[in-house]
Amino acid sequence: MIDTHVHTNFSDGLESPEQVIQLAAYDGIDLVSITDHDLVLAYPAAIEAGRRRGIKVIPGVEITTRDEEECCCVHIVGLGISVGREVSDVLDKIVRARDRSNVGFLENVNAFMAKRHPSWQPVWDTKPSVFVNAMGMAKACGIRLTEKELMDVILDRDLWVPMEFELSVDEAVSYIKQWGGVPVLAHPFDFSNDAALVLKRFLAAGGEAVELCKYRYKVRSSALSSLDGDGLLAREREMNLWTVAQAQKHGLKLTMASDHHDAGRPMGMDPGEYGIDVGWLYNL
């Protein structure tokens, strides 16, 4: 079992790096990467925590790229990166810009939701994420709202506040390579994107790997929001088989990820389920 896309409470996850490593050990995972959003604060402590439990921990990060036509919120994971000052200097600029943008964005979301739902009460915190906190507030206010419905609000460009600094897909891939890592296209079917267009954009930027994903947790996506149970798992497998075929066609490496944020998204996937070779990860 492996998982190369996991979050902690340094970004929008709910567990500490130590807790994540403990859960990975409990679930029988022997290779993991903590890929917080634009942060590498879990390292090097997470590597030592993994060593104590016999788990290989690969230093990683997830970069959210600048919105482009037909490629919304494309996420690029960097695996095997260095975690020194040259990396944190770039990532810190992204985080500061995002935090400033999120203040205005949250104000816009509150205004939008209050207009649509008279019982809405303002959300005041952007951590762990506007999405998580807004979903919690909807439940507290007795507002019936699906993840897909809220994600449509989050992705409403009229509510966004421009960021002073963010990376294009090309820049994210380039930086990851400069940092000694492998650029990985994360969950290509997420955010209701056309996966073929996203993959084409990633390949043009020089991307090198793509992940299979537990899409069962991505019900915010239009392709998955109407499914549940066996239908959701069947669609997940269809998406992942497409990804395997595309990786073979374009010579991309493959990895597997849960995009774990909390106990509601158990970690780990078995490479044997899709018959893929992930040996390259153990050399990072």
End-to-end distance of the chain based on CA atoms, in angstroms?
17
Please choose, from the candidates 251, 178, 193, the residue with its C-alpha nearest in 3D space to the C-alpha of residue 224.
193
Q: How far is CA 5 from CA 17, 145, 265, 281, in A?
A: 13, 27, 12, 13
Helices (H), 30-119: 45-52, 85-116
Rounded Cα–Cα distance for residues 183 and 229 (Å): 32
Kind and range of the H or E element at 55?
Answer: none
Q: Which residues contact 263 (CB under 8 A, 6 or more apart)?
A: 14, 15
Rounded Cα–Cα distance for residues 205 and 190 (Å): 19
Q: How far is CA 100 from CA 103, 126, 154, 168, 229, in A?
A: 6, 10, 16, 19, 39
Considering the entire predicted model, what is its pTM? Answer: 0.92
Question: What pLDDT sits at residue 110?
Answer: 96
Identify the three-state secondary structure at position 70: coil
> Using N-to-C axis directions, what is the helix angle for 85-116 and 147-154, rounded to 10°?
110
Q: Which residues contact 60 (CB under 8 A, 6 or more apart)?
A: 4, 5, 33, 34, 35, 77, 78, 79, 80, 81, 181
Question: What pLDDT sits at residue 219?
Answer: 67
Question: What pLDDT sits at residue 232?
Answer: 87
266 φ, ψ (degrees, to nearest 5) = -55, 145
* Sequence ranges of the domains in the chain: 2-92+169-283, 97-159
Q: Which residues contact 259 (CB under 8 A, 6 or more apart)?
A: 5, 6, 7, 186, 187, 213, 214, 217, 218, 265
The mean pLDDT values, 10 residues at a time, for the chain of 284 residues are 96 91 95 96 94 96 89 91 93 95 96 95 92 93 91 91 94 98 94 85 97 84 75 92 98 96 90 97 96
Rounded Cα–Cα distance for residues 89 and 81 (Å): 14
Identify the three-state secondary structure at position 254: strand
Specify the CATH number of the domain 2-92+169-283: 3.20.20.140
Asked if 127 and 11 touch (Cβ cutoff 8 Å), the reply is: no
Asked if 66 and 49 touch (Cβ cutoff 8 Å), the reply is: no
Question: What pLDDT sits at residue 229?
Answer: 82
